[in-house]
Amino acid sequence: MRKFSFRKIKYMLIGVIALTAFIFAGCGRNPAKAFYGTFESTVDISGYVCERADEWMSTALMSELIDSDDIITDIRLSVTIKFNEDGTWSQTADESSYESVVADGYEKMEELVRQLLKLRLNGAGETGYDDDALDELIEETIGMTLSEYVNEYVTDIIPSFEELSDIYNTEGRYEVTENVLLRDGIQEAYFAGDDTIVITAPVSGNAVWENDYPMILIKEGAVSPEPVEIENTETSQDKTDSDSGDEEPAEKEIIELN
């Protein structure tokens, strides 16, 4: 089991704080109704990418230099989750998000290789290389950019979509009580709003996707909040004074203050 990321604690606190107001929203209603429908969410596949990165580093005799999960983090695959009124639920991986997963994974793998090479150079006493200088050295030495090298020689880092589908495509039964979701024997704490559900943490110790908490579920078709516009705070009196020419010049104000 990989070390617990403090980033996940931060995300959990954000989710809890943001939805604390929803705790009492369902009083007097069937709490399961908040789940009825189709939701969009994401799952963190970073652990699977790290496992393959570790295998590559071991083959390259560099596995002792760095922890892959310090760099390869938060690679997320979109999933669709449906909760039906008959007590069944299902989850399906979204293939349209896979391309961005691959791009993100290789970008972070590129950074991992860059850091590994820096450590090798530092060990040899070469400490003057920043990222740009190192990239130039790589291109001059091997005749290709670091990105080209990673894509050509550091292969199979990202699980195929079929592999991820085998992991994340699932279905079963669920029950909902106030602030506890029970999915196939696994109890999870949650907060629910009108269009958003945050599954904050497993209550039981046998969570299937332990790295995915908090899971933020957005109901399909929900409209994102409009950006907040900052209103002009100038009062009518301020505008009147300004228009009348009564406003003192800045230079005079400075003189008076001195």
Domain ranges of the chain: 6-219
Q: Are the C-beta atoms of 101 and 55 separated by less than 8 Å?
A: no
Q: Are the C-beta atoms of 149 and 105 separated by less than 8 Å?
A: no
Q: Are strands 88-93 and 180-183 parallel, antiparallel or unpaired?
A: unpaired
* Residue 24 exposed, middle or buried by CB count within 10 Å (0-12, 13-18, 19+): exposed
Provide the residue-wise pLDDT of the chain in tens; the chain has 258 residues. Answer: 344 444 554 445 544 444 444 444 444 568 899 999 999 999 999 999 999 988 887 776 565 677 888 899 999 999 999 999 999 999 999 999 999 999 999 999 999 988 888 887 877 777 777 888 888 888 888 888 888 888 888 888 899 999 999 999 999 999 999 889 999 888 999 999 889 999 988 887 666 665 678 899 999 987 644 444 444 545 445 544 545 555 444 443 333 333
Spatial CA neighbour of 131 closest among 149, 113, 143:
113
* Residue 179 exposed, middle or buried by CB count within 10 Å (0-12, 13-18, 19+): middle
Whole-angstrom distance, CA of residue 103 vs CA of residue 116 = 20
Is-above-0.85 flag for pTM?
Answer: no
